[in-house]
């Protein structure tokens, strides 16, 4: 059974650009959550999608957005990149029900220069 | 107050000893908890998941949840050098939304 797949693994972008990251969840999982991890703030929740609908949103500016497709694959987009957006972006796959496990992908390391 | 607190600094334990990690939380909402292990430069790996009061054991790992005192702990028995990592405590609010503590670094000394 394949795990959670995130692409690309590494990205270098320039300030002001935009970026799109992709996450394919475990087969059969319908929930994808996105997190940002930085040394100073740790792991912070961005948003969660279930069956193509955003169910939860964290405290991030509107430059951060996402979507989910009918096959449960999800993308997140960051527009007008800032240096502070440099981080490890992780997605977590779950069946979306209460009291069930969440499994992380390998992450995308984004560097903004 | 943060939703999930992991206040202990780096923990050094000799190989074969027990490593004990603690995590406290601030309110009595949804009470499912996860322990993840994260090696440097890697993504978090799920170790334990607990939502019932009491102990849950899986191999060398035991998670303990005490809802009355609002803490969850992780014990690693017979610690191995491969256990050297950062351990993250996370609380679930349902809907695949997790709130994480800052993590505790564990160093197992051979």
Residue A101 makes CB contacts below 8 A (sequence gap 6+) with: A94, B34, B46, B49
Both tokens of B51, joined, read 């939502």
Which pLDDT tens digits describe chain A residue by residue (113 residues)? 579 999 999 999 999 999 999 999 999 999 999 999 999 899 999 999 999 999 999 999 999 999 999 999 999 999 999 999 999 999 999 988 877 889 999 999 999 99
Both tokens of B66, joined, read 């005490």
Q: How many CB pairs under 8 A join A and B?
A: 63
Query: Phi and psi at residue A84, in whole multiples of 5°?
Result: -70, -5
List pLDDT tens digits, range B21-78.
Answer: 999 998 777 678 999 999 999 999 999 999 889 999 999 999 999 988 899 999 999 9
Residue A101 with chain B: CB contacts under 8 Å: 34, 46, 49
Residue A72 with chain B: CB contacts under 8 Å: none
Q: Would you say the C-alpha torsion B75, B90, B108, B21 has a positive or negative sign?
A: negative
What are the beta bridge partners of residue B63?
B56, B74
Residue B105 makes CB contacts below 8 A (sequence gap 6+) with: B9, B10, B11, B85, B86, B87
CB contact under 8 A, A99 and B101: no
Quick one: pLDDT at residue B1?
Answer: 59
């Amino acid at each position: 059974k394949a795990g959670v797949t995130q692409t690309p693994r590494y990205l270098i972008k320039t300030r002001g650009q935009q970026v799109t990251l992709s996450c394919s969840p475990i087969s059969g999982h319908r929930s994808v959550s996105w997190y940002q991890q930085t040394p100073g703030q740790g792991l912070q929740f961005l948003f969660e999608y279930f069956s193509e609908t955003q169910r939860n949103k964290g405290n991030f500016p509107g430059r951060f957005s996402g979507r989910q497709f009918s096959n449960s694959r999800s993308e997140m987009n960051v527009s007008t990149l800032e240096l502070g957006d440099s981080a490890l972006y992780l997605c977590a796959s779950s069946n979306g029900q209460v009291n069930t496990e969440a499994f992380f992908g390998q992450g995308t390391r984004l560097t903004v220069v | 107050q943060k939703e999930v607190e992991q206040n202990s600094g780096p923990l050094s334990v000799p190989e074969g000893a027990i490593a004990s990690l603690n995590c406290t939380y601030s309110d009595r909402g949804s009470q499912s908890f996860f322990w993840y292990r994260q090696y440097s430069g890697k993504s978090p790996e799920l170790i334990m998941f607990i939502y019932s009061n009491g102990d849950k054991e899986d191999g060398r790992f035991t998670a303990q949840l005490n809802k009355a005192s609002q803490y969850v702990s992780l014990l690693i028995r017979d610690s191995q050098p491969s256990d050297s990592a950062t351990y993250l405590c996370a609380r679930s609010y349902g809907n695949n939304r997790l709130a994480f503590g800052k993590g505790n670094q564990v160093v197992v000394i051979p």
